[in-house]
A and B are shown apart, each in its own frame.
Chain A
Amino acid sequence: MSEAVLERPQPITTETQEELNFLTPRQLAWRRFKRHKLALISGIVLIVMYLVTGFAEFFAPYATTSRNVGAINAPPMNVRFFEHDGTFHLRPFVYGYDLHINEETWAREYTENPEKIYPIRFFARGETYELWNLIEGDIHFFIAENDEGEGYIHFLGTDQLGRDVYSRVIYGGRISLSIGMLGIGLTLFLGVLFGGFAGYLGGWVDRIVQRMIEVLQSLPTLPLWMALTAALPAHWSSLRIYFGVTIILSLFGWTALARQVRGRFLALRNEDFVIAARLIGSGQNRIIFKHMMPSFLSHTITTATLAVPGVILGETALSFLGIGIRPPIVSWGVLMEQAQNYQVISMTPWILYPGLFVVIAVMAFNILGDGLRDAADPYNIGGQ
């Protein structure tokens, strides 16, 4: 899907050929990657996302299940520096909600109450948590609390049970993003395995693998994913479902990678250095792992980055339909599950915020993948 999204950056060759000759392949790749500014930015965005979701307990002000019963379906808050009368505060703050029941529609309506000022405190003590179920703590990146110790902050609003959307987006990102990473690992494994067999052995093995790839590529994936995830037993724990969904998502994603690995093996089989290794009597394993694999593996791994968006989007779609990740584990798809029709969305549009993060993450992966692929291409020496 995501091939050729961005074309290669134009080569700007400032180094002379002689200078280039002294650089290791890794240095060359880094040089090429740095030129692709968008890819560099995407990489940074992703690192930040993985760090924040990795330390979700610290960065999220609340746990996924904490409820603020006084603020159900409450809209996002504005972070302010100025009070209504214009008084300036260096420390940002939010206004608390005032709840009214609309007498015509019986809907809850929230307005800001300028009397309730909740200053935002960084690195403050809030809810207790266990980081990765290991380390206990109660320091959060930020919480909102006045001097009497009361206050709350929901700057992406709350859901129908009064749970903080922002906190849930962070925890959901941990699942959605890690599925992407686990998925790429499995995809890589399957792709190198099948592609390697097909390319190295050739003959009937190659033909069977080729046929398999053709069949898998002509299947509409979502209906099959639906069938497979719907088949996961209902009594499984959320964690097992999580791994099950990951495996299912990678099951159809390895074909493009396998094709590439196969092509590389075919091309390398008759290269001089491989023939030389064979002639001096190297064993088959040594030829494959010592001589052939290193020459294309970095490129293959970076190409696999391009498979991550498919996995993330797949998980999101399945969870949105209610057959992917199951609560109490939350993912970005699970968070959007309530948004099934426009009545809900027009009442509480902020429950679509997780979607924004999906778009950002997938976009970043697409751009980063393009940049990495071009940088790691061994046939793209010196940025040509």
Chain B
Amino acid sequence: MLHYVIKRMGTMVLTLAFISVIVFVVIQLPPGDIVTSTLERMEASGMQASDEYVQNLRARYNLDKPLYLQYLNWIFNFVQGDLGYSYIYSKPVNELVWERLGYTLLITISAVIFTWVVAVPFGIYSAVRQYSIGDYFVTVVALVGLATPNFLLALLVMFFAWEWFGISIGGLYSMEFRDQPFSIPKLFDLLSRLWIPGSVVGMGGTAVTMRILRANLLDELNKPYVVTARAKGVKPIKLIFKYPLRIAINPFISTLGLLLPTLISGEAIVSMVLNLPTTGRMLLQALLAQDMYLAGSFLMLLAILTVVGMLISDLILAWSDPRIRYE
């Protein structure tokens, strides 16, 4: 197991190194940089910038150095925890991203929990009662859920909560807690509202996971050992939970890894619609304003979140299924 863990972490570091290059290239892509946009602003207000001033400005942001040095500079600082400086907020990026990233993580985890809590029972149900009315119903709901854009679902939930119950579900806290310092009641308030973004983000993934579980379980249920067990008179509930489900659930853990990028993508847009204090809105702002350190940090941190999540799901899988460790 230890050997596997070390090997797996090695690939993770390599993957992250690749990703950091991609992220750096992507944030360098827009024509112009923070200096040209500063100069444009100055010219618009009638000021003339001397060449010397421009040189100084470039030197301050390290923009006069070749690209690979800029990259190395950025990634070394990043690894040491210095995420750079946000131009649009005039603050170190460190002060801006962590709380938002924490909320993103929180919502993603609640989406994963939602996915599992819903997908497992309904997946089992529609496999055991194959071709029943309930199975068709679940299938249709899954197909619609898979086809609905996240943001549309968020808009609809918000609209109906407002129309039918007269409550505003935007934001992570209720009105009375919004400006309060952190406390136990505030925590409960957060938890009571978390399931809304969680379920909206997790909807598409739930549909996929449910169908996978159903297909896996159906494969198992037709195997001779299940028939034997049934013939011997094992109770139906025990019959499903004892062996077939345990085998069917394995690929389930591995799909979690593939699910994470989707969930984190979904979270970015849902949070914008539901007005949540997470990464989405600020990332968009940073991208549009070419605030490269802020945008780069967000992209990189979201990627790290995904990759680490995939690592964890792989490790759980290796722990639950010994065959994988020895591949």
Contact = CB atoms under 8 A, between A and B. Distances in A.
Contacts of A271: none
A329 interface: no
Contacts of B27: 227
Interface string B171-201: 0000000000000000000000000000000
B159 A355 contact: no
A90 interface: no
Contacts of A316: 149
Interface in B271-310: 272-273, 275, 279, 283-284, 287-288, 295, 298-299, 302-303, 305-307, 310
7 closest A-B pairs by beta carbon, nearest first, are A222-B265, A362-B147, A363-B147, A230-B287, A220-B264, A231-B29, A231-B30
A223 B273 CA distance: 15
A220 B268 contact: yes
23 contacts: A5-B142, A5-B146, A5-B211, A214-B11, A215-B22, A218-B307, A219-B303, A220-B260, A220-B265, A220-B302, A220-B303, A222-B268, A222-B269, A223-B264, A223-B265, A223-B283, A226-B287, A227-B26, A309-B146, A317-B150, A341-B158, A355-B155, A362-B146
B284 A226 contact: yes
A340 to B, nearest CB: 7
A117 interface: no
Interface in A193-237: 211-212, 214-215, 217-224, 226-228, 230-231, 233
Interface stretch (A297-305, A342-350, A373-381): A342-350
Contact of A352 (B18, B156, B208, B283): B156
A352 B155 contact: yes
B311 to A, nearest CB: 10
Interface string A326-355: 000000000010011110011001001001
A241 interface: no
A224 B299 contact: yes
Report the contact-size class of chain B (Cβ under 8 Å from the partner). Answer: 35 or more
Interface in A232-285: 233
Nearest to A7: B215
Q: Most A CB atoms within 10 A — which of B31, B143, B144, B283?
A: B143
A252 to B, nearest CB: 9
A313 B215 CA distance: 25
A217 B258 contact: yes
Interface string B158-176: 1100110000101000000
Interface in B102-159: 139, 142-144, 146-152, 155-156, 158-159
B152 A358 contact: yes
B202 interface: no
Contacts of A336: 152
Contact of B288 (A2, A6, A323): A323
B292 to A, nearest CB: 10
Given A5-B146, A355-B149, 12 more contacts: A4-B208, A4-B215, A211-B14, A215-B19, A219-B19, A220-B264, A222-B269, A223-B264, A317-B269, A320-B151, A355-B155, A359-B147
A218 B151 contact: no
A214 B272 CA distance: 28
Contacts of A349: 159
B15 A227 contact: no
Contacts, number: 160
Per DSSP, chain A at the interface is: helix
Interface of B: 11, 14-15, 18-19, 22, 26-27, 29-31, 139, 142-144, 146-152, 155-156, 158-159, 162-163, 168, 170, 204, 207-208, 211-212, 214-215, 218, 258, 260-262, 264-266, 268-269, 272-273, 275, 279, 283-284, 287-288, 295, 298-299, 302-303, 305-307, 310
B22 A2 contact: no
Contact of B152 (A5, A218, A341, A355): A355
Given A222-B269, A359-B148, A215 B143 contact: no
Contacts of B279: 223
Interface residues of A, number: 49
A231 B28 CA distance: 9
B108 to A, nearest CB: 10
Nearest to A364: B147
Contacts of B272: 321
A3 interface: yes
A194 B257 CA distance: 23
Contact of B146 (A221, A345, A366): A366
Given A5-B208, A339-B155, A215 B144 contact: no
A29 to B, nearest CB: 22
Nearest to B263: A220
A323 B266 contact: no
B105 to A, nearest CB: 13
Contacts of B139: 6
A219 B306 contact: yes
Contacts of B258: 217
Contacts of B30: 230-231, 233
Nearest to A221: B265
Contacts of B150: 317
A107 interface: no
Contacts of B168: 342
A101 interface: no
A307 interface: no
From A7, A217, A218, A367, residue with most partner B Cβ within 10 Å: A218
A47 to B, nearest CB: 18
A220 to B, nearest CB: 4
Contacts of A219: 19, 22, 261, 303, 306
A4 B303 contact: no
Contacts of B306: 218-220
A339 B156 CA distance: 10
A69 interface: no
